[in-house]
Amino acid sequence: MKILRTATSLILTVWMGCTALPDQTASRSGEVLIVYSGNALGELKPCGCDKEEDQGGIERRMSYLKQMMPQEPNTLLVDLGDNFKGSTRQGKLKAQTMMQALGRMNYDAITLGDKDLLYGNGFLSSIQNIPWVAANLQLEGLALPPSRIKVLANGLKVWVTAVADPDLFYASSDSNVKLSDPLAALQQQLEAARKSASPDLVVVLTHMPRDKGMRFLDVPGVDIVINGHIEKDSDIIDMTPVEKGGKIFVAPGPLGQKMGELRVRINPDGEKTFQQKMVRLGSKAPLDPEMTQLYDAYNAKVEELFMATLAAKRKQKQNRVYATDQTCLTCHAKEHDLWSKTGHSRAYTALQEVNKSFDPECLVCHTTGFGKPGGFISEIDTPKLINVQCEICHGVRLEHAQNPQGGFAGEARAACGKCHVKKHSPKFNFSQYWLRIRH
Ligand code: HEC
Ligand code: HEC
Ligand code: HEC
Ligand code: HEC
């Protein structure tokens, strides 16, 4: 049986290559693999702060795709949007790199999330090779096909459309963006598809809060709903699939850490069965060299940007704010010795080791006072403010160092939560962690 099926699909592939679509009356049973991603929020590469959270990134995603695609000829690859994060210059560099990466990954359909409009229409239209799809979203200067159809090697026709929740976009109130009612737009597209394409599988990409997206399963004719949307990187996203009357709802997780795989089997009577799993792009996943090159180019631009901002910072007069650990050492030798044996005293080295000691997104937690008056600027300008020093937890204590008085020790416990947040230190627990740095 297995051999026979392989042979048939091979013949079909060859045959399709030289003529038009396969015969409409042919048996439309077979298998489709839908691979889905989304909610990446500019996460080109995980920071590596925590082993468990060290998942995802464009390098691992590409190596997964390059390995998987040749084995799975009947695949539909889709992305659910929200690929950008903050509207900063660095954020824009990330967005550019992210879109370049997606452009090389051979996606079949990519939808726009509310976060993807952060840099405006001009930015989006400057990006090439993106198979956008959007049924109820119109952007000035960017053509957005309302649906796409893919004829797989096995002859199955998969039809994809995308609808977004207008409420999410009104929050960003951009006058160059027009949204219409998602349900009406979907029904209109479905009607057109039924007449012209007679698809075997109807996939709707929704960009909405989970509950709203799930409601689109009830629309007659829809087989699969895949929903994306993320507000911030600490969001917990429910990836559990929901099956309902021969249909299924699935959602990608946060930050591009995992790839969703939904295997759909269509029986000769048209009945569909589903098998879903999330593939973790963990630290053992290989890094794709093409994407590493892209990432390194991004990183070099981040360094350039950092160097350019130094000039301006150097012009500003810096008053001394922090006493620095070397001053504390003069009276608290025992505490200093214990501190110097902890990771806090090597936090900056950890950045140097991964070629990140110029990235503001890392420096905030791995130095003393980066971005604050009198705080870390660069290792050349402020060599005494590298690492997570005493004054991070005990507060600025220049005055205390000159005229020692007590009464503030208890405040230090509250500091941990500024850096030991879920994304960077998911296992943080004060009593256990304090034991490891106690002094
Ligand atoms: C919100 C604060 C925060 C930010 C931002 C941050 N880190 Fe971290 N980082 C931490 C914390 C906290 C730990 C320790 C985690 C633990 O052990 O639970 C850590 C640990 C690390 C480690 C492991 C150090 C070791 O010796 O094991 C590396 C490497 C690292 N971070 C790199 C980075 C890079 C690169 C960036 C920027 C892309 C970054 N960090 C951004 C807080 C942060
Ligand atoms: C000139 C000596 C001296 C220097 C320098 C100094 N301290 Fe102290 N520190 C003291 C003395 C003395 C006490 C005890 C004060 C008391 O209990 O009244 C103290 C107490 C403390 C306490 C306990 C406070 C409490 O509520 O009991 C902390 C925390 C502390 N110092 C942190 C620091 C830090 C951080 C630095 C560096 C920025 C620093 N000290 C620099 C002498 C110094
Ligand atoms: C990561 C945060 C952190 C860093 C960094 C840190 N401390 Fe502390 N320190 C604490 C906490 C928490 C306590 C305990 C406060 C309490 O009793 O609740 C403490 C207690 C102390 C005390 C009071 C000890 C006692 O029981 O009287 C001194 C003195 C002190 N630290 C000095 C230092 C010095 C000097 C450095 C730098 C060499 C330093 N600390 C670095 C968090 C930190
Ligand atoms: C300014 C950000 C920051 C604050 C505040 C902070 N940490 Fe950390 N912490 C880090 C970073 C960065 C690392 C990783 C350093 C490395 O290993 O390179 C780390 C690592 C650690 C580690 C693992 C390293 C080791 O030596 O075991 C422990 C434990 C820890 N922190 C406890 C605490 C506790 C407890 C507090 C609060 C009292 C605290 N930290 C406050 C940034 C911070």
Where the chain has pLDDT below 70, the residues are 1-27, 171-175
CA distance 401 to 19: 83
Tell me the domain boundaries of the chain: 22-289, 318-437
CA dist., res. 415 & res. 344, Å (int)? 13
Q: Which residues form ligand 1's pocket by a CB distance below 6 Å?
A: 47-50, 343, 350-351, 354, 356, 359, 361-362, 364-366, 419-421, 424-425, 427-428
Main-chain dihedrals φ then ψ at residue 120, nearest 5 degrees: 85, 175
pLDDT reported for residue 176: 82
Q: Quick one: which of 56, 64, 68, 49 has its CA closest to 98?
A: 56
Q: How far is the CA of 382 from the centre of ligand 3 (A)?
A: 23
How many A from CA of 405 to the centre of ligand 2? 7
Q: Edge to edge, what strands does the sheet with 109-110 contain?
A: 109-110, 75-79, 30-37, 258-266, 272-280
The closest-lying atom of ligand 3 relative to the alpha carbon of residue 415 is 2
Question: How far apart, in whole angstroms, are the C-alpha atoms of residue 207 and residue 163?
Answer: 6
Q: Which residues, at least 6 apart from 363, have a Cβ–Cβ distance to it below 8 Å? A: 351, 357, 370, 371, 376
Q: Is 233 exposed, middle or buried (0-12, 13-18, 19+ CB in 10 A)?
A: middle
Ligand 3 pocket at CB < 6 A: 325, 328, 332, 335-336, 339, 344, 388, 390, 392-394, 409-410, 412-413, 415, 437, 439
Q: What is the pLDDT of residue 432?
A: 97
Q: Which residue has the tokens 């726009």?
A: 112
Spatial CB neighbours of 381, under 8 Å, sequence gap ≥ 6: 310, 313, 314
Give the ligand whose atoms come closest to the C-alpha of residue 417: 4
Q: CB of 195 within 8 A of CB of 147? A: no
CA of 48 relative to ligand 1 center, distance in Å: 6
**Looking at the domain that runs over 22-289, which CATH code has it been given?**
3.60.21.10
Task: Identify the pLDDT of residue 174.
Answer: 63
Pairing of strands 75-79, 109-110: parallel
| Residue environment code for 79-95, b if the CB has 16+ CB neighbours within 10 A, otherwise e | bbbbbbbeeeebbbbbb
Q: Which atom of ligand 3 is nearest to the CA of 336?
A: 38
CATH superfamily, with its number, for domain 318-437:
Flavocytochrome C3; Chain A (1.10.1130.10)
Give the whole-angstrom CA distance, residue 306 versus residue 329. 31
Q: Which atom of ligand 2 is least distant from the CA of 327?
A: 5
Q: How far is the CA of 336 from the centre of ligand 4 (A)?
A: 15
Task: Tell how far the Cα of 354 is from the centroid of ligand 3, in angstroms.
Answer: 29
User: Which of 393, 397, 438 has most ligand 2 atoms within 8 Å of CB, for mutation?
Assistant: 397
> Tokens in use for 326?
């070397």
